[in-house]
Amino acid sequence: METAPKSQMNVSTFPVEKLGWLLIFIMAVFLAFAIYPSAQLDNDMSRFAAIESLVERGTWIIDESPFLMKPPRGKRPATPIVDRVVMEGHSYSTKPPVMTFLMAGEYWLLKNLFGLDFSDESERPFLVWILTFTFVALPFLGIAWFFLKSGPRFIDNPLLLMTGMIILLFGNQLWGFSRTLNNHVPSGFFLFFSMVQAVSLVHGKIQPRPYHFIFIGLCAGLLPTFDLPGLFFCAPLFFYLFYFFPKQTLSWFLLGAIPPLALHFALTWSITGDFIPIYMKKELYHYKGSYWDKMGGFDALEEPKWLYFLHLSIGRKGLFSLFPVLVLSLVGFCRSFVKQDGCPLKWEMRTLVFLTAFWMLFYTFQTNNYGGMCYGFRWFMFFTPALAFFSILAMKNFLTGWRWIFLCLLIAVSCYSGWQCSLDPWTANEEWTTRFLGKWTF
């Protein structure tokens, strides 16, 4: 009797789901203990200041929030947070409003149901922990959970499924940044979920039921409200679904997508009096004593754009140098043009690779500071899981001989970078690549 080749092994013969849940449980336990119980950096303090102000005083003004001032450290005195703007003499958070508003809703419930209060310093660590776990750690775990459920639609090799779980949990920046409050990790879930579900609909892996379109629309609508560059994914997604399912897209998809977008514009209007987000109003960053008038560190970098692009792609903070397993998405992209038996999702893969190139160029010409003092290039996180998905699909051609050894090396380097990031995501010059390419000096 002949045995089926590895690429055709039945998932049911291997405890994929049990092992997958074990990996998710291990990561959940790690995050439960590793999430920072205090907000001491400008990025998360800015959000917590707005959350606290909304619930306690019913305003977006953060002048009276205990999170406005960074605590003293060593010889450095307490100073106002950097991530703020001043409008009409009052300080406001620079963070997108929808995530802040939703987190304020959870804080309001915790305050009114259990009496927890940010003003009580003994309760503040738990509040910081639970809000971060809810809005960052859970979406990160949700990416792995959704891959565990949806992966078998496209992958029939259990070894490949487990390899994908390892990559999504341990082989990227999201692992480390799930320890701290940020908008990039939940954005990664929104893009990953909406993309995989849309592809599943188009390729007949799931039935075109209304609730599928509603949830895809909801995640697609939330994505740009959390991470604005995600808008460049939402437009192709809409037309992609519209081409195959015009009626469902114009009805159920929009039913899910419109509410978060409407909420974004309503909140923006309540803050600024117009529809331009406050973080895009450059003039508001210039006020007496503003850090942005006398920047330092990464914010003061003036590198040539070619060098900046080099470091964010294959250099010190490179997407493909720190997490080389993602290179396989480019391999699959090239293979789709030369092999007739290439990935069945070749057009979807090509689109995402083109979007990745677009986002890399977008950040090259729109930024100059690599996302500040952090591990890797944090602004890439929202599309990393989606890119990893196509890398996993491309791995089917790397499961034998020397290719398997090469694949294991790529995964090992990616997981090592993920582990480095998990030690402290908000750090400078700690990437292993700086040992070979040199460190930044300020």
For the chain, domain boundaries: 40-437
- What's the pLDDT tens digit per position in 1-45? 344 444 444 445 568 899 999 999 999 999 999 999 988 789 999
3-state secondary structure (DSSP) of residue 90 = strand
- For the chain, the residue count is 442
Is the entire prediction scored with pTM above 0.85?
yes
- What's the pLDDT tens digit per position in 87-119? 999 999 999 999 999 999 999 999 999 999 999
3-state secondary structure (DSSP) of residue 390 = helix
- What's the pLDDT tens digit per position in 351-395? 999 999 999 999 999 999 999 999 999 999 999 999 999 999 999
Report the amino acid identity of residue 399. Answer: L
Tally Cβ neighbours within 10 Å of residue 20.
Answer: 23
The pLDDT, as a whole number, for residue 48 is 98
Segments of the chain with pLDDT less than 50? 1-11
The pLDDT, as a whole number, for residue 216 is 99
Max intra-chain CA distance, the chain: 80
User: Phi/psi zone of residue 36: left (φ > 0), alpha (ψ -120 to 50 degrees), beta?
Assistant: beta
Q: Evaluate whether 263 touches 96 at the Cβ level (below 8 Å).
A: no
What are the phi and psi torsion angles at 119 (to 5°)?
-70, -20
